[in-house]
């Protein structure tokens, strides 16, 4: 299934995409794409609904973040060997973990704000993992049993804030609008191998990132298991698993976003995001 949330910011309703690519409203049956609806039994209830009888939603309706109730937005740094190389960093001996504020989360096509004082706002297409069942001390073999599905994440970053401002990475990752997720939460039954997904990102029609989850250093199962040794993962938590090469920081010379730029990004089978960039007032 391709689950989604549609409607005005802060008043989104649950929905899904039917076989013809049309949005269907789930609000008469489902509270939200959150909590118990992300559990295996909740997803099974949604899957059993008669899709063709659900109300159609206008195709022009705004899409919100594809999951609600996210308590943790956890990110993995330097998780693609070719991306580590372009930034001059060594491949880490264990996953690098940092947190992104949940206040960054927004819809897949909502505009992206360059924060005040920013000179180095950057892009990162990433595979997002949405937790569906609480995970604590789970093995790698069990890890994917705790995943509800996958989504596209743009892990926007302000590199000066992240690297040069005497803080940890969270400072440069948590500006407002820096976490578009969606358009859909694609349930894991539709993604037989999360380590075989092509992904790309363009700015103003120029393709900067063109990669694949095949080059992840630590795959999804390993990451979920690893994180669960340090913190419980709950339904609705989102893990952003790292980015392939082609970020602005790694270009020669470095290239960063500016007001008026248009970002477009996609992961195979998970949908596409489109964002207009503007400057904070």
pTM: 0.96
Beta pairing class for 198-203 and 262-267: antiparallel
Taking residues 218-242, what's their average pLDDT?
Answer: 98
**DSSP state, residue 153:** E
Distant-in-sequence, close-in-space partners of 19: CB < 8 Å, separation ≥ 6: 51
pLDDT at 88 over 80: no
pLDDT of residue 85: 75
State the Rg of the chain over Cα.
18
What's the burial of 69, exposed, middle or buried (CB within 10 Å: 0-12/13-18/19+)? middle
Reported CATH class of domain 73-279: alpha beta
pLDDT, one tens digit per residue, over 27-65 is: 999 999 999 999 999 999 999 999 999 999 999 999 999
Domain boundaries, the chain: 2-57, 73-279
């Amino acid at each position: 299934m391709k689950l989604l949330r549609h409607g005005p910011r802060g008043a989104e309703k649950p929905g899904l995409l039917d076989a013809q690519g049309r949005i269907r409203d789930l609000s008469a049956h489902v509270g939200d794409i959150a909590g118990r609806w992300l559990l295996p039994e909740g997803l099974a209830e949604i899957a059993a609904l008669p899709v063709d009888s659900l109300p159609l939603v206008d195709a022009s309706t705004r899409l919100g973040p594809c999951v609600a109730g996210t308590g943790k937005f956890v990110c993995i740094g330097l998780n693609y060997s070719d991306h580590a190389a372009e930034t001059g960093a060594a491949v880490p001996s264990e996953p690098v973990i940092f947190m992104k504020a949940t206040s960054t989360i927004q819809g897949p096509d909502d505009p992206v704000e360059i924060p005040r004082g920013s000179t180095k706002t950057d892009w990162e297409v990433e595979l997002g993992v949405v937790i569906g069942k609480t995970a604590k001390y789970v093995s790698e073999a069990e890890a994917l049993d705790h995943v509800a599905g996958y989504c596209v994440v743009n892990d926007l970053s302000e590199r000066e804030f992240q690297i040069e401002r005497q803080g940890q990475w969270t400072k440069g990752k948590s500006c407002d609008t820096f976490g578009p997720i969606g358009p859909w939460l694609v349930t894991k039954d539709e993604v037989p191998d999360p380590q075989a997904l092509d992904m790309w990102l363009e700015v103003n029609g120029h393709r900067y990132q063109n990669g694949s989850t095949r080059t992840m250093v630590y795959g999804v199962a390993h990451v979920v298991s690893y994180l669960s040794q340090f913190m419980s993962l709950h339904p609705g938590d989102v893990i952003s698993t790292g980015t392939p090469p082609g970020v602005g920081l790694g270009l020669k010379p470095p290239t960063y976003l500016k007001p008026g730029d248009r970002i477009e990004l996609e992961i195979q089978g998970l949908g596409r995001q489109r964002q207009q960039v503007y400057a904070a007032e």
